[in-house]
Amino acid sequence: MAILSDLDLLNYIRSGRLLIEPFEESTVRENGVDLRIGGAVARMKNIGRPLDTRSDDVEEFYTIEQSSSFIINPKEHVLLHTKEYIRLPVDLMGFVNLRSSYARVGLSIPPTIIDANFEGQLTIELVGGDFPVKLYENDRFIHVVFAKLTSPVERPYRGKYQGQRGIRLPSFK
């Protein structure tokens, strides 16, 4: 596995092997691409009973808001999505990281991987820190490091989140 440099990333994007739409060349960094916050947030809510992953409809456990800015409250777990729609080829995967400026104010995301052949906007879980933080649509908030696999995957990603747009709530079926 090899991490792609800015030159490699631009070659993948310009050749159409890696799709990022909309694309701005300024988001390509030394060893990855920054992606921006989309226009919605899904807030997790406690409805007074456990979520049953085998039978419940998860929608009742979330409130989805459309806005150009969001306040993330202390220790709150939310789902955000990227503005960009991406499509990876069968020989690339991505490691998703929160940009360090956001981590430095206490925000965090769990380890997140983009599988080879994934296509769609990314849904990212974000966890609040010790004080409220206001975020804005279109701000660069995650950094994706792309790695070239030693060979194309034999079973490319074709899962339930393929082609997603906006926030995609979890699905256990």
Amino acid at site 7: L
Closest CA to 166 of 82, 98, 105: 82
Residue 172: predicted pLDDT: 86
Q: What is the pLDDT of residues 79-118, one digit of tens each?
A: 999 999 999 999 999 999 999 999 999 999 999 999 999 9
Residue 55: predicted pLDDT: 84
| pLDDT above 80 for 151 | yes
Mean pLDDT of 131-147: 98
Active site residues: 125
Angle among Cα 49, 80, 119 to the nearest 5 degrees reads 110
For residue 144, give the 3-state DSSP assignment: strand
Residue 22: predicted pLDDT: 98
Which two three-digit tokens encode residue 57? 């409809």
Average pLDDT, the chain: 96
Q: Which domains does the chain have, with CATH numbers?
A: 2-46+64-148 (2.70.40.10)
For residue 100, give the 3-state DSSP assignment: helix
